[in-house]
Structure 1
Amino acid sequence: MREQQAIIVPKISSFPGHEARARAIVRWLVQQDIVAERQTTCGRTFNKMAYGIAPGARQVVEQPQLLPFGQPVNGLEIVYKRCIFTPLHDFLEEAGCPQCRKEVGVELFDRLEEWMPGHTDTFVCPLCGHEDDINGFLFLQPCGFSNLGFIFNNWAEAVFKPSFLDEFAERLGYPASLVRVDL
């Protein structure tokens, strides 16, 4: 089985109080027995520390038999810095303006050099002048741009239930994108 990630990203560039909200989300996931309370070396990045998969994870996915129980990389990692979350392979870099509905992907993705260091959270449509958080633009493939991201290592194949994603977004207080990354 190929390594993959399911990444839940709030649709806001600069999430206010992002570390506190992440801690609240982890407490909820622990209470639901979806992830373990303590971090272990079941992650992929940074120092490999992550919240390991727990038995309750079976309740929030469509195909629980595909969850990574027994795999060395199976945990939830949290990104607390501004990051671009996109598929690694075959990402089309196409985006549209929600106002005029015209293609603005080239200009938008060129502008990420200003977005990434935090010089701006917004993008202005070069065609109609509509300005919004970069996450407010329309993308052909799920992606996210935020200072907060929840990376579920090797959970993507199991497919999160819509009800879980809805509750996750509700607890975040913002709509969220689900980005699948095949490694």
Structure 2
Amino acid sequence: MITQSIIVPKISTLPVHEPRARAILRWLVRKDIIQEQLTTCGRTGNHMAHAIAPGARNVVLKPELLPFDEPINGLEVITKRCIYTPQVGFLEEAGCPECRQEIGEALFESLEEWMPGHTDNFTCPECGHEDDINGFLFLQPCGFSNLGFIFNNWAPAGFKQEFLDEFADWLDLPVTHVVVQLQGK
């Protein structure tokens, strides 16, 4: 089974997201978490990604579970609007932070408007509360943004909270950590 450990800023449209992505990549290279040069260690598209580096052991809870010997072990950076959900076992449940009602069905249906960028916001059908879609409550971590960092096969190792906090500091925004299990290759 292929896994992904994805870090996503909690904002639909991050301004100047491509320069921020480059700054984070430079930071990760300086910390020796990833390699600077792209190689074919990714999963999507042309399979190009930043391979895992020895410093990755310092940012995870179980370094022995990092994918050093696996062909898919790199960091892929997504700089287009994307939806990040757990996939296998995803319940599609969400709640309103204002009225605390379950609104998952309506929220996930609204992604047809969100995905092409017609809106960043969702309005609760129960109480009318409106916010960026990332401001709503999700039973399982989800991310909706024009920037995402996909660490392929790193999920079993588990990120340390300090690393996630430092990542958020670099983005100057809170982040969501989405763990994905994919079937097949």
Q: TM-score range by the shorter chain?
A: over 0.9
Q: Could you tell me how far apart the structure 2 residues matched to 1:149 and 1:157 are?
A: 19
1:120 is matched with 119
1:156 is matched with 155
In the alignment, is residue 10 of structure 1 matched against residue 9 of structure 2? yes
Map 1:135-174 → 2, pairs under 5 A: 135-174=134-173
AA partner of residue 100 (structure 2): R
AA partner of residue 156 (structure 2): E
The CA deviation string for residues 88-128 of structure 1, in whole angstroms up to 9 with x for no partner, is 11111111111111111111111110000000000011111
SS in 1 for 2:100: coil
- Between the two proteins, the alignment pairs up a number of residues equal to 182
Q: 5+ residue gaps in structure 2?
A: none
AA partner of residue 72 (structure 2): V
Q: 5+ residue gaps in structure 1?
A: none
1:21 is matched with 20
1:39 is matched with 38
**What RMSD, in angstroms, separates the aligned Cα atoms of the two structures?**
0.6
TM-score computed with the length of structure 1 as normaliser: 0.98
1:182 is matched with 181
Q: Could you tell me how far apart the structure 2 residues matched to 1:72 and 1:110 are?
A: 36
The CA deviation string for residues 116-150 of structure 1, in whole angstroms up to 9 with x for no partner, is 00000000111111110000000000010001000
Q: Could you tell me how far apart the structure 2 residues matched to 1:26 and 1:125 are?
A: 36
How far the C-alpha of 1:168 sits from its partner, in A, is 0.3
AA partner of residue 163 (structure 1): E
Map 1:75-114 → 2, pairs under 5 A: 75-114=74-113
SS in 1 for 2:8: strand
Q: Could you tell me how far apart the structure 1 residues matched to 2:166 and 2:80 are?
A: 23
Q: Could you tell me how far apart the structure 1 residues matched to 2:173 and 2:162 are?
A: 15
Percent of matched pairs sharing the same residue: 69
2:49 is matched with 50
2:61 is matched with 62
2:72 is matched with 73
How far the C-alpha of 1:74 sits from its partner, in A, is 0.5
SS in 1 for 2:112: helix
Q: After the TM superposition, list the runs of 4 or more consecutive aligned residues in structure 1 that deviate by more than 2 angstroms.
A: none
TM-score computed with the length of structure 2 as normaliser: 0.97
